[in-house]
């Protein structure tokens, strides 16, 4: 089997290898691990945690996963997901906490993780470096790519269980291979995952073709309220609990809905408001190309990736909507100006 392409030797590549070596050494020296990730886990957080779990268990380690919120329902059919403990605090004795796909420890929503030796593995810009060991790789298309590197460095064979969860993480965090973070390395990793037994059509059907009728009706209800801003370049959608209940769905059923407006050619960005309380909104954003919605999310205390980010904003809906629309419109304009700017002359 040909090796996975490595990045060229550079100070960043050297730092990457040093971080992997430190993580491998810390794992080998310890026996009991608790794993966690950000609240409202997505495919990458769940996939990364479970791939790491199966790898550590292959080494004879004791591993538990504790998350603040349950996994999205489309992921419940994958191996090990039902074993994840949903709790707001860690209970038990552990030698280390491995926190993945989480830029700040507080974003886990799980208290007590700081009592242990913390290993922080993440690819989100702005990671706070809260661990005893911190590995940040902004070039990784998904945290699951980083887990793949650790599994290989540990010498653990790619079992089907490990491979399928790494694939779930990559598939979901790249927006089904839509986002600009994808590299040749991403596809080479996926090649090895398929060789290990992953069936891409089966995984895709489990994630994307497992809707309930209530979820489908809720999608219709929310999308029927879509509003366009910035001459049709920005789509605005919103949901509240009353709308979800009327459609026979739940708030969890809105997972993935935000990506649908982006399938319209003219729409360049989407903002989705989910009412948590009458004056508190979870805001998700998606964009195409060079439109940086992460910079917008950071203005409101959030974060994420250039094309997929979010934040939580307090205030009356009309005021929150106006502020977010203005900020995203500015991001669209900046991307358009950069595209039109003449290229710098080659030296």
Residues 259 and 171 in one domain: no
Range list of H helices, 108-234: 143-154, 160-173, 184-195, 200-208, 213-223
As a whole number of angstroms, the distance between CA 105 and CA 120 comes to 9
Task: Using the 3D structure, point to which of 208, 234, 265 is the last residue of a domain.
Answer: 208
Residues 204 and 217 in one domain: no
The burial of 166, by beta-carbon neighbours within 10 Å (0-12 exposed, 13-18 middle, 19 or more buried), is given as buried
Residues 133 and 225 in one domain: no
What domain count does the chain have?
2
Task: Flag whether 6 is in a domain.
Answer: no
Task: Flag whether 128 is in a domain.
Answer: yes
Task: Flag whether 5 is in a domain.
Answer: no
Angle ∠(196,200,202) on CA atoms, nearest 5: 110
Which domain covers residue 126, as residue numbers?
Answer: 11-208
Q: Say what the pLDDT of residue 343 is.
A: 59
CB 138 within 8 A of CB 146: no
Q: 135 in helix, strand or coil? A: strand
Q: 75 in helix, strand or coil? A: helix
- CATH number of 272's domain: 3.10.310.30
- CATH number of 91's domain: 3.90.1640.10
CB 94 within 8 A of CB 108: no
As a whole number of angstroms, the distance between CA 174 and CA 243 comes to 29
Angle ∠(153,157,160) on CA atoms, nearest 5: 125
Residues 217 and 204 in one domain: no
Task: Using the 3D structure, point to which of 208, 225, 242 is the last residue of a domain.
Answer: 208
Task: Flag whether 347 is in a domain.
Answer: no
The burial of 287, by beta-carbon neighbours within 10 Å (0-12 exposed, 13-18 middle, 19 or more buried), is given as buried
Instruction: Spell out the per-residue pLDDT of the chain, length 347, in tens.
Output: 455 555 556 677 888 899 999 999 999 999 999 999 999 899 999 999 999 999 999 999 999 999 999 998 889 889 999 999 999 999 889 999 999 999 899 999 999 999 999 999 999 888 889 999 999 998 899 999 999 999 999 999 999 999 999 999 999 988 888 876 789 999 999 999 999 999 999 999 998 887 778 888 888 888 888 999 999 999 999 998 888 888 877 777 777 788 899 999 999 999 999 999 989 999 999 999 899 999 999 999 988 888 888 999 999 999 999 999 999 999 999 999 888 776 555 44
Task: Flag whether 81 is in a domain.
Answer: yes
CB 285 within 8 A of CB 297: yes
Task: Flag whether 111 is in a domain.
Answer: yes
Instruction: Put residue 76 in one of left, alpha, beta given phi > 0 → left and psi -120 to 50 → alpha.
Output: alpha
Task: Using the 3D structure, point to which of 150, 173, 208 is the last residue of a domain.
Answer: 208
Q: Say what the pLDDT of residue 347 is.
A: 43
pTM: 0.79
Q: Say what the pLDDT of residue 3 is.
A: 52
156, HSE (Cβ side, Cα atoms, 13 Å): 26
């Amino acid at each position: 089997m040909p090796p996975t392409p490595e990045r060229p030797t550079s100070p960043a590549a050297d730092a990457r290898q040093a971080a992997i070596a430190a993580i491998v050494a810390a794992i080998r020296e310890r026996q009991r691990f608790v794993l966690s990730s950000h609240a409202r886990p997505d495919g990458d957080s769940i996939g990364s945690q479970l791939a790491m779990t199966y790898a550590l268990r292959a080494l004879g380690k004791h591993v538990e996963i504790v998350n603040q919120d349950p996994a999205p329902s489309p992921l419940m059919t994958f191996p090990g997901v039902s074993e994840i403990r949903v709790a707001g605090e860690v209970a038990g004795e552990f030698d280390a906490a491995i926190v993945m796909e989480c830029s700040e420890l507080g974003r886990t929503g799980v208290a007590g993780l700081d009592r242990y030796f913390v290993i922080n593995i993440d690819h989100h810009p702005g990671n706070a470096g809260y661990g005893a060991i911190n590995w940040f790789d902004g070039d990784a298309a998904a945290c699951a790519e980083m887990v793949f590197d650790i599994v290989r460095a540990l010498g653990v064979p790619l079992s089907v269980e490990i491979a399928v969860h790494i694939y779930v993480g990559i598939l979901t965090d790249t927006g089904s291979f839509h986002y600009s973070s994808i590299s040749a390395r991403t596809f080479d990793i996926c090649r090895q995952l398929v060789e290990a037994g992953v069936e891409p059509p089966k995984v895709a059907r489990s994630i994307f073709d497992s809707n309930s009728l209530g979820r489908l009706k809720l999608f219709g209800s929310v999308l029927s309220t879509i509003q366009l801003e910035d001459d049709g370049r920005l789509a605005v959608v919103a949901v509240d609990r009353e709308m979800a209940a009327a459609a026979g769905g739940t708030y969890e059923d809105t997972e993935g809905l935000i990506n649908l407006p982006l399938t319209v050619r003219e729409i360049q960005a989407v903002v989705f408001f989910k009412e948590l309380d009458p004056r508190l909104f979870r805001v998700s954003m998606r964009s195409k190309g060079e439109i940086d919605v992460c910079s917008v999310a950071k203005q409101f205390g959030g974060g994420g990736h250039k094309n997929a980010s979010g934040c939580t904003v307090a205030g009356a809906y009309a005021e929150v909507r106006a502020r977010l629309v203005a900020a995203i419109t500015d991001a669209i304009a900046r991307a358009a100006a950069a595209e039109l700017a003449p290229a710098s002359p080659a030296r």
